[in-house]
Copies of this chain bind each other. A is one copy, B any other.
Amino acid sequence: MNKAVVLLSGGLDSATTLAVARDEGYACHALSLDYGQRHRSELAAAQRVAQALGAAEHRTVKLDLTAFGGSALTDAGIAVPTTPAAGIPVTYVPARNTIMLSLALAWAEVLGSRDIFIGANAVDYSGYPDCRPEYLDAFEKMANLATKAAVEGSTTRIRAPLVDLSKADIIRRGTVLGVDYSLTVSCYQADETGMACGQCDSCRLRRLGFASAGITDPTRYRRE
């Protein structure tokens, strides 16, 4: 059984990605990053999701990105926007996917895994630069020069099975694959029980996705 490292934030996209990887027959080694994110309840969600979707293993690595700040998710002094705005929003975390993929690359090399799955999406997303296909391709090229495994002939693939899907399509796909979305947390300011604000960018995209897929949204919203 081939091993895959699957980045698992605890949100809707990464849960679906884990289900896709499992469906492809991989033994899934799920990796979460405790980076000091505002919405810490996503980490508990990641653990629930890993278990529910039969991950071979789930590890949470701690790395304090609040030391750098520069994002509403890592600096308590920057508020999470509750109305859409033009451009890349302040919830963008500098180099987050690069850091997470780097950690996945390290673990994949130790595991002898050639496949790294990430739930990046460039359709119904917040415009984060490190979710775009051209970024993911460039990371893959770099990864294939970075490691001992690469020098020895092993090829690493960065797999982003959701990258071209709409949020509704992601939800449909995950539902078919048995994802229980009530276990996931997308909200940037979810409370400690995982209750969502219903107003941030991430809530907005998620909510529209369920509506557009015609699937009942199991999210627990605080303000209703």
Q: How many copies does the complex hold?
A: 2
Size class of the contact patch on chain A: 35 or more
Q: Is the CB of A69 within 8 A of B110?
A: yes
Q: Is the CB of B88 within 8 A of A148?
A: yes
The residue from B61, B64, B146 contacting A95, defined by CB atoms under 8 A apart? B146
Of A8-16, A136-144, A175-183, the stretch lying at the interface with chain B is A136-144
Q: Is the CB of A64 within 8 A of B64?
A: no
Indicate if A99 sits at the interface (CB-CB under 8 A).
yes
The CA of A8 and the CA of B109, in the complex, are separated in Å by: 24
Indicate if A76 sits at the interface (CB-CB under 8 A).
no
Report A50 CB to chain B, min CB distance, Å. Answer: 16
Indicate if A220 sits at the interface (CB-CB under 8 A).
no
Indicate if A221 sits at the interface (CB-CB under 8 A).
no
Known: A70-B110, A110-B69. A135 touches B146 (CB 8 A): yes
Indicate if A97 sits at the interface (CB-CB under 8 A).
yes
The residue from B61, B95, B129 contacting A102, defined by CB atoms under 8 A apart? B95
Q: Given A61-B63, A98-B142, A135-B145, list of 20 further CB < 8 A pairs?
A: A59-B67, A62-B62, A62-B63, A62-B64, A68-B106, A70-B106, A70-B110, A88-B148, A88-B151, A94-B109, A94-B110, A95-B103, A95-B109, A96-B106, A98-B106, A129-B145, A129-B150, A135-B146, A138-B141, A139-B146
